[in-house]
Amino acid sequence: MIKFLLKGILRDKTRSLLPIVVVSIGVMLTIALSAYMKGAFGDMIDQNARFDTGHVKVMTRAYLENKNQMPNDLALLGVDSLAQSLRQDFPDYQWVQRIRFGGLIDVPDENGESKGQGPASGMAIDLLNESSGEAKRLNIETSLVSGALPTQSGEAIIGHDFAEKLGLKVGDEITYFGSTMNGSMTFQNFKISGTIRFGAAVMDRGAVVVDITDAQQMLDMQDGAGEILGFSKLNVYDDEQAGRMAEKFNAKYAGDSDEFAPVMLPLKQQNNLGEWLDYADMMSGIFVFIFILAMSIVLWNTGLLGGLRRYQEFGIRLALGEPKGRIYRNLILEAVLIGAIGSVVGTILGMAISYYVQVVGIDISGFLKNSTMLMPSVLRAKVTPELFYIGFIPGVLAMVFGNMLSGIGIYKRETARLFKELEV
C-alpha cells in the first residue's frame, strides 16, 4: 500500500508538489533559525569564557567584590602552589594565571619626549610558555595584523586600532605608566612585537598584551596573579560540572574568614552571564516555537486545502464501495509520506545553509564600532545533532493534522447523495 501511495504522490504533481515545497521551505527555515540562534548565543558565551571568565575562575573574596576595578592590591599570592593544587584536585581542567591592569601608554619621540599618550587596558598571560595554550585560546597568532608573538621578555602586543591612533608600528617602543600592587608608581618600557585585532571593539581600542612574568615584575606581584582561570580540556562548558567543582573548592575555605581566601566561581555566576544564558535559552526556545507554530499553521492549511480539492475523488471512491475508514487511513498515510519527503528535503537544505553560516559567518563588525560589550564581530551558526530531527515536528505533524481535519468530511458524506453530487 505504501508503494502504491508513493507512486501516486510522485506521479500526481498537482496533489503533492505544493505541499512538499511548502514543507521543505518551512523545515529549512526552522533548522536555519535554530542553528543560527544556538551559534550566535554560543559564540558570545565562548568569547566571554576565553577572554574573561574562563569556565571557572579563582580569585580572592576581596578581589571578587571589586573586580570591575581590577584591584591588583587584592590579588592572589602564592599562585604557583595554588595552581598546582588545582591541577591535582581537578585534572580535567587546564589552569592558567592572568593579571589585568590599567594605566597610561606613552609614546616617546626620537628625543625621548612624549609625542602621544592613551589609556590602556592591559592583560598579562603566559605568552612565552607554549604549553599554557593561552596564545591559541585567545586566537592571538591568527588575529595578528602585523608583526609576531613576543619571543622574549620586554615585548608586547598592542591593539591594531590603538596602534593606529598613537601612530605606532612594529619595533617601536612604548612606556607604561601605572601603579604597583602596593600602590607605588611604576614605569616599564616595552617593545612592540605585533599589532592585533581581536574582533571586539572594546579590546581593539586599548588592549596591551604582555607576558605574565613581565607584569609580575612591573606590578610587584611576584608569585601573584589577579585570577586563575580553569578551562575544560574538552573545551565545552558544563554548568553542572563547574558548579560541583566550585562547591567542592569553596567548601575547603568555608571556615576561613580571611578576605584574601580564594573563592571559585563558575562561568554562569560571573558578569551576569547566568541571566544572559537563561535569557538566551528562553529567547531561542521562544523564537523556534513561534516559527514552528507559524509553519505548522501554514502546513496545516496546505493539507486542509489539498483534502478539500479531492472532495470529488473521495465521493467517487465512496460510491464505488470503498470503506470510509480505509479512505481516511490512506489520506493520513499520504500526509505522512508527503511530510517525510518535504522534511528530508528541507533538512538537507537547512543543514547546508547552517553549515555555510557556521563556516563563513555573518560579519557585524560595522555595528560594534562603539560597543563596550565583549562579543564576537562575526556571528556563526552551530550545527548540532538535534537539527537532524527538529524539522520533522512541523513537517510531518502539521501535514498529518491538516489531513486529519480535512478528512473528517469523509465521514459526513451520505451515500444516498453521492450520485447527485457527482452529477453536479
Domain assignment present for 21? yes
Q: Please indicate, yes or no, whether residues 216 and 311 belong to a single structural domain of this protein.
A: no
Kindly give the pairing relationship between strand 93-108 and strand 173-179. Answer: antiparallel
> Can you give the pLDDT at residue 379?
72
> Can you give the pLDDT at residue 1?
58
How many CB atoms are closer than 10 A to CB 320? 8
Three-state secondary structure of 360-405: HCEECHHHCCCCCCCCCCEECCCCCCCHHHHCHHHHHHHHHHHHHH
Instruction: Compute CA distances 366 → 146, 204, 232, 356, whole Å.
Output: 22, 14, 33, 21
Q: What does the pLDDT profile of the chain (424 residues) look like in tens digits?
A: 566 566 666 666 666 777 788 888 888 888 888 888 778 777 777 878 888 888 999 999 999 888 878 888 899 999 999 999 999 999 999 999 999 998 898 888 777 777 788 888 889 999 888 888 888 888 888 788 888 889 899 999 998 888 888 888 888 899 999 888 888 888 899 999 999 887 666 677 788 999 999 999 999 998 899 999 999 888 878 888 989 999 999 998 888 888 889 999 998 888 777 777 777 777 767 776 777 677 667 766 766 666 666 666 777 777 777 787 887 887 788 888 888 888 899 999 999 998 888 888 776 666 555 544 445 556 778 888 888 888 887 778 777 777 777 677 666 666 656 555 555 5
Last residue of a domain, one of 178, 207, 236: 236
* Per-position DSSP letters for 44-82, written without gaps between them: HHHHHIIIII-SEEEEEHHHHHTGGG--GGG-EESHHHH
> Can you give the pLDDT at residue 400?
79
Domain assignment present for 252? no
Q: Please indicate, yes or no, whether residues 364 and 282 belong to a single structural domain of this protein.
A: yes
Q: Please indicate, yes or no, whether residues 78 and 166 belong to a single structural domain of this protein.
A: yes
> Can you give the pLDDT at residue 57?
94
Q: Please indicate, yes or no, whether residues 36 and 89 belong to a single structural domain of this protein.
A: no
Domain assignment present for 411? yes
Please name the residues in contact with 353: beta carbons below 8 A apart, sequence gap of 6 or more. 28, 31, 32, 381
What is the gyration radius of the CA atoms in the chain, in angstroms?
31
Residue 133 corresponds to which cell in the numbers above? 595554550
Q: How far apart are CA 74 and CA 70, in angstroms?
A: 9
Kindly give the pairing relationship between strand 114-125 and strand 207-211. Answer: parallel
Q: Please indicate, yes or no, whether residues 294 and 206 belong to a single structural domain of this protein.
A: no
Domain assignment present for 362? yes
> Can you give the pLDDT at residue 415?
61
Last residue of a domain, one of 178, 208, 236: 236
Domain assignment present for 356? yes
Sign of the torsion angle spanned by Cα atoms 400, 401, 406, 412? positive
Q: Please indicate, yes or no, whether residues 20 and 97 belong to a single structural domain of this protein.
A: no
Interval 48-74: pLDDT, tens: 888 888 899 999 999 988 887 888 889
Q: Please indicate, yes or no, whether residues 71 and 211 belong to a single structural domain of this protein.
A: yes
Q: How many domains does the chain have?
A: 2
How many CB atoms are closer than 10 A to CB 185? 8
Closest alpha carbon to 261 in 59, 22, 14, 46: 59
Domain assignment present for 137? yes
Residue 383 · residue 61 · CB < 8 Å:
no
Q: Please indicate, yes or no, whether residues 43 and 64 belong to a single structural domain of this protein.
A: no
* Domain with 90 in it: 56-236
Residue 107 · residue 216 · CB < 8 Å:
no
Instruction: Compute CA distances 59 → 65, 74, 75, 336, 399, whole Å.
Output: 10, 9, 7, 57, 56
Last residue of a domain, one of 219, 236, 253: 236
Q: Please indicate, yes or no, whether residues 21 and 151 belong to a single structural domain of this protein.
A: no
Closest alpha carbon to 306 in 19, 27, 25: 19
* Entry pTM: 0.70
Closest alpha carbon to 56 in 240, 185, 296: 240
> Can you give the pLDDT at residue 311?
66
Q: Please indicate, yes or no, whether residues 86 and 193 belong to a single structural domain of this protein.
A: yes
Domain assignment present for 261? no
Q: Please indicate, yes or no, whether residues 39 and 66 belong to a single structural domain of this protein.
A: no
> Can you give the pLDDT at residue 124?
92
Domain assignment present for 206? yes
Angle between the N-to-C axes of helices 311-319 and 324-360, in degrees from 0 to 180, rounded to the nearest 10: 150
Q: Please indicate, yes or no, whether residues 14 and 64 belong to a single structural domain of this protein.
A: no
> Can you give the pLDDT at residue 373?
45
